Amino acid sequence: MKILIVEDSLLQATQIQILLKRYSVDEVYTAYNGEDAIELCKQHRFDIAFCDLQLPQIDGVSLLASPEAQGSIQTVVILSAMTDAALDSTKSMCKLIGYSEVEAIAKPVNEAHIQHLISSYQRVQTANTIQPVEMKLDESQAIEAFDNGWFTNAYQSQHHVEKSALTGVEVLARIMHPELGLLTPFHFMGTLRQLGMMDRLFFTVLELALKDLSTMHKSLHFSINIEQSTLKLEVADKVANLCDKYKVDPSLLTLEITEHETVLLDAHCYKNIAKLSMLGVGLSVDDFGTGYASLSQLSSLPFTELKVDRSFVNNISENHKNQILTKACINLAENLGLSCIVEGVEQQQDLEYLKTIGMTKYQGFISSKPASFSEFTSANNLK
């Protein structure tokens, strides 16, 4: 692993170097101003770059926006003692530029920060060695995946804060390609959406989930993503028939409406939603606060659950703005009588903080990664 530290304070730079050595990171380059950093970027490719914003000659914002940095750095860790607004704006800029991962840390850097960054980077690298990151399925490959039964499900558990008790599971679509291995939605979702095949994907994932869950000795709540376009079909009747086929109570199912598009539901959609509610099927707002769902939808639709997006959660124990926003989401759900699940919980200090502001249910790598059904049931003693 090759690391770049861009920090004008010798004390701060040395502290980061010492912490990195504890995790056996030896290839570390240090620049004390923006110009030297650009020269290093011309000569090397860096896995992670720690970058202060307040630098002599060329500031950190200009450095990270430079073509030299963009072509050299994978993961950016923004360091600053400045306001949250400056950190957040720079972080947003880096995401739009296209850096693989972007973190923002208020000084001083401590060992918990380094541990999280190294583990996150290694996790991403492991995933990337399994999957060809840039490859996306074309139309013929997408159709072939359906016709040949290459779709499979991954299961990520959801937990209650009390003793980390299992409360449910989210079902996630995957493709097991005979040559490329396990593919995530990154590799196929855009193609399926363009081809108008999201309805077929939903019912494929649902039937696979029902088939799996019907083999368990206990009932378990489960959730599946659904597009608004699918709600325009006779979805309620199909859901009822599939649940009856596999002898699974439909009240165990929650449908998560994704927020990647404006909510424009017609009368037929409302009819289906009403029929789903009569079956006992729950309705969830996925990634609340980051997409197109508004408070008016919470009022007009029979939602039973709200999921707080992971973008508010990462490093929440140190981000005052995200603390306020997350607490507001949790309070909103509670006041509306909705279940609330916080997504993307990865760090112990974030989990502990979320408990103090009223979080009751959570989901994330801190408890489990998405896994095959057999791995999921074994880990939770469900077989």
> What is the phi-psi region of residue 337: left when phi exceeds 0, alpha when psi lies from -120 to 50, beta otherwise?
left
Given a cut of 50, whether residue 130 has pLDDT beyond it is no
Burial of 121: CB neighbours in 10 Å, binned 0-12, 13-18, 19+: buried
The pLDDT score that the predictor gives to residue 101 is: 85
* Token pair listed for 298: 């919470």
High-pLDDT (> 90) share of the chain, % = 60
Final residue before a domain boundary, out of 130, 156, 181:
130
**pLDDT value for 216:** 92
Of 90-99, 180-189, 294-303, least confident by mean pLDDT is 294-303
Neighbours of 269 (CB within 10 A): 19
- 75-84, 117-126, 137-146, 342-351: least confident range: 117-126
DSSP SS3 for 202: helix
Query: What band does 128 get if pLDDT is binned at 50, 70 and 90?
Result: low
> Where does a domain end: 96, 130, 164?
130
User: Where in the sequence is the domain holding 279, given as residue range(s)?
Assistant: 139-379
- Residue 124 is predicted with a pLDDT of 64
Note whether 105 and 154 are same-domain residues.
no
Could you tell me the CATH number of the domain that includes residue 123?
Answer: 3.40.50.2300
Are 76 and 186 found together in one domain?
no
Do 150 and 96 have their domain in common?
Answer: no
107: helix, strand or coil: coil
| Vertex 292: Cα angle to 289 and 297 (nearest 5) | 90
Q: Which pairs with CB-CB distance under 8 Å and at least 24 residues apart come from 29-33?
A: 29/2, 29/3, 29/4, 29/5, 30/4, 30/5, 30/6, 31/4, 31/5, 31/6, 32/6, 32/7, 32/8, 32/56, 33/8, 33/57, 33/58
Same domain, 342 and 279: yes
Q: Is the pLDDT of residue 260 over 70?
A: no
Q: Tens digit of pLDDT for each residue in 162-188?
A: 888 999 999 999 999 998 889 999 899
Q: How many residues does the chain have?
A: 383
Under a CB-based contact definition with an 8 Å cutoff, are residues 131 and 154 in contact? no
Average pLDDT over the chain reads: 88
User: Tens digit of pLDDT for each residue in 301-338?
Assistant: 889 999 998 888 877 887 888 899 999 999 999 999 99
Using CA atoms, how far apart are residues 308 and 362, in angstroms rounded to an integer? 9
Same domain, residue pair 121 and 144: no
Question: Can you give the pLDDT at residue 125?
Answer: 64
Q: Are residues 304 and 360 part of one domain?
A: yes
Residues 250 and 316 in one domain: yes
Residues 281, 249, single domain; the answer is yes
- 292 pLDDT band, cuts 50/70/90, is low
* pTM of the entire predicted model: 0.73
> Any idea which residue has 């974030």 for tokens?
350
Domain count, the chain: 2
- Pair 125, 143 in one domain: no
User: Which tens digits make up the pLDDT trace of 214-243?
Assistant: 999 889 999 999 988 898 888 999 999 999
